[in-house]
Structure 1
Amino acid sequence: MEGPDAPLVLVTGFGPYPKVRVNPTATLARAVAGSPRLRRLGLSARAHVFETSYAAAGAQAPGVIAAAAPVACLHLGLAPRERMLRVETRGENRTRALSPDVRGNRPALRALRPGSPAALRSAAPLGAILAALRRAGLKARLSNDAGAYLCNAMYFWSLDEARASGARRPVVFVHLPRPAPAPGTLPRRRRKTVRPTDAELTAALVDIAIALARAGRR
């Protein structure tokens, strides 16, 4: 049963951003946090959905992490053009002013956190996570580039929080494809897709949360 000392995983997603009116990472983060399977294993998770803006997410991230005091962090981002899951291996301390955030702003500084390392690698069990996803029948790969948007920023902020506090907290960022439409929502000729469903993604992300919780409490 879940108790006050149950290992807690912080699971985050993002809200809408330009050209994405509904961000599935928000729903998926909440689904993972509410998983009965976690509770049966004596684990727990908390979901937080960040506004997709540099100002809001950058200001809120330290407080959200500190308040949760998690043993591990699982961050989710949407990669709309992908057809597989990308398990990111590192976050970079840099911005590229390519796309505006949901407020229409671009980052003003080249570094996300001046004075912090140029890049930080995840200490999470990435190989085991990748293997578990593939055993579940999902297409997945490791990636060395978390992109040039809020996804990379969130990953670096979280990794840097763990580094600065001395926490031995495994942190991982997973880029997700758009989930497949529910059966019956599209004409028959358009139903064929290789994208995973919401249920498949939720189950896979719960597996990742379990692996992270176990790694974080060792």
Structure 2
Amino acid sequence: MKPRVLLTGFEPFDRDSINPSWEAVRALDGWRFETPAGEGVEVQARRMPCAFGAALQSLDAAIDEVQPQLVLAIGQAGGRSEITPERVAINLDDGRICDNAGCQPIDLPVIEGAPAAYFSTLPIKAMVRELRAAGIPAAVSNSAGTFVCNHLFFGLMHRIAVRPLAHGLRGGFIHIPLLPEQAARLPGGLPSLSLDTIVEALRISVRTAWQVRQDLRETGGTLN
């Protein structure tokens, strides 16, 4: 099986015309990199609907098609100033707003009967260290929210845990800030990062996630 990484990003939502997760991910579609061992790895990108349920169907189809060994799902987090690999996905849908299909689940499980939470299988602390070393602001996040980003993240980790076709698959989720053009349209001076910076951050994250299997043991916690 060819070594492959699947990157996913979301379509625009909440009346916006752009989503930085898809803009960054599609810039890496077809990118190939070589590991220190001389292994060539191909990256493929797929766009996910910002809709409960449909996002998981699209993710399943993308995994079945690409047959990756590594999945990094990317999502927009307005208000964050850093690249934030997520630590944990929770089994809860609780929409602050409706999704793009007009659905707004409140206090419902992502998957009935599944565990309360799953931890990412990405080396999130190693990724943060490498991003910071490259001059890119980054931090571990301990909450992926309760909207479609967490929905997709939980669905990904559940598939990895229970489906035989996903044996050996690793994956997780990364939230990214707004683009400057998005922040400029919003009051309050929300933080942003340029698309070039986000794309470079994803390159570093993919390389690190592919190469590092045992994460660092260093602080990544918060006081509240």
Distance 1:67 1:108, change over 3 A: farther
Counterpart check, 1:13 vs 2:9: yes
Indicate the SS of the match to 2:139.
strand
Distance 1:194 1:108, change over 3 A: closer
Q: Which moved more, 1:152-161 or 1:5-14?
A: 5-14
Taking only the aligned residue pairs, the percentage that are identical comes to 25
Residues 92-127 of structure 1, C-alpha deviations (whole Å, 9 max, x = no match): 111113210012211377111111111000121111
TM-score scaled to structure 1, two decimals? Answer: 0.84
Contact kept, 8 Å, 2:86 with 2:141, in 1: the verdict is yes
Indicate the SS of the match to 2:153.
helix
Contact kept, 8 Å, 2:79 with 2:190, in 1: the verdict is no
Contact kept, 8 Å, 2:88 with 2:120, in 1: the verdict is yes
Counterpart check, 1:209 vs 2:206: yes
Aligned to 1:98: 96
For 2:146, the aligned partner's letter is A
Distance in 1 of aligned mates of 2:30 and 2:200: 12
Aligned to 1:26: 22
Paired residues for 1:29-68 under 5 Å: 29-35=25-31, 37=33, 42-68=40-66
Aligned to 2:170: 170
Indicate the SS of the match to 2:144.
coil
TM-score scaled to structure 2, two decimals? Answer: 0.82
Pairwise CA distance, 1:35? 2.8
Q: Which moved more, 1:32-41 or 1:203-212?
A: 32-41
Distance in 2 of aligned mates of 1:95 and 1:55: 10
**Structure 2: segments with no counterpart, 5+ residues:** 214-224
Distance in 1 of aligned mates of 2:190 and 2:76: 17
Aligned to 1:142: 140
Contact kept, 8 Å, 1:81 with 1:177, in 2: the verdict is yes
Pairwise CA distance, 1:36? 5.1
Pairwise CA distance, 1:74? 0.6
Contact kept, 8 Å, 2:31 with 2:44, in 1: the verdict is no
Indicate the SS of the match to 1:9.
strand
Distance in 1 of aligned mates of 2:206 and 2:39: 11
Contact kept, 8 Å, 1:85 with 1:140, in 2: the verdict is yes
Pairwise CA distance, 1:53? 0.7
Contact kept, 8 Å, 1:138 with 1:196, in 2: the verdict is no
Q: How many residues align?
A: 203
